[in-house]
Amino acid sequence: MGEFSNTERDGHVFTVTINRPEVMNALHPPANRELAEAFDTFESDDELWVAIITGAGDRAFSAGNDLKHQASGGDMGGQPSSGFAGLTSRFDCTKPVIAAVNGVAMGGGFEIALACDIIIASEQAVFALPEPRVGLAALAGGLQRLPRMIPLKQAMGMILTGRRVPAQEGKELGFVTDVVPHADLMKAARGWAELILECAPLSVRASKQTVMGSIDVASLRESMENRNYPAIGDMFRSEDFVEGPRAFAEKRPPNWKGK
């Protein structure tokens, strides 16, 4: 248990909980550094295959940047290079990360969720990039990621107004993967993690790295012919690359080793 967050290991799943409910899980630089260390651990541990990030309490996933800390003259230096919550600039992470959004996801909180691969939202979750309403801008990836995930005009409708979008509308727009009853949120997020764990971990990482790398390539042919994805080589050289077809032929569940 950290000062601003909690972490939990359960088999191959690593759950990170932002633990500042008294400020709606808003983040200041010390909290960001602590979360960055947690996700450094996730990336470096070969036995951790999927991460889930959520917020403590029932009100907020994260209200974003701790504006009160900033306004009171608190030190805003020392932000981690991996970005807000140690996630928004972690571009080289090939392991899947699930956001379990339990309430308000505003500004940087929404940007944390957008940096994840899957967003599972409580039916009471609300999303927004309200920075223009306080003279700021969503510079932790929100202005870049949201227009890549949903139609441009819909993204601009959110960005230029700072309006709040409920979970169900977020699913309809396309940035939310699934909406579930609030009481079932963590069970549902864990269910999605278990579905991922049914797949070979190195195949999952190769798939994520290829998808994220291909997004920046305009030409379909170039994106398909590009083989500069190290995770694909790791997959081809792995024991799991042999185990998968063997298990299929033997009509049994595969025994993934992640190597």
What value, to the nearest 5°, has the Cα angle with vertex 200 and ends 199 and 204?
Answer: 80
105-131 burial by CB neighbour count: b if 16+ within 10 A, else e? bbbbbbbbbbbbbbbbbbebbbbbbbb
CB atoms within 10 A of CB 206: 21
Element (H, E) at 223: helix 220-225
End-to-end CA distance of the chain: 29
* Whether 111 is catalytic: yes
Q: Which amino acid is at 92?
A: D
Which DSSP string do the residues of 74-133 spell out, in sequence order?
Answer: -------TT-GGGTTT-TT--S-EEEEE-SEEETHHHHHHHTSSEEEEETT-EEE--GGG
CB-CB contact of 17 with 60 (8 Å): no
Set 111, 225, 239, 243: catalytic member: 111
Q: What is the C-alpha to C-alpha distance for residues 109 and 179, in angstroms, rounded to an integer?
A: 17
Set 22, 34, 37, 131: catalytic member: 131
Element (H, E) at 178: strand 178-180
Q: What is the C-alpha to C-alpha distance for residues 55 and 109, in angstroms, rounded to an integer?
A: 10
Q: Which residues are catalytic?
A: 111, 131
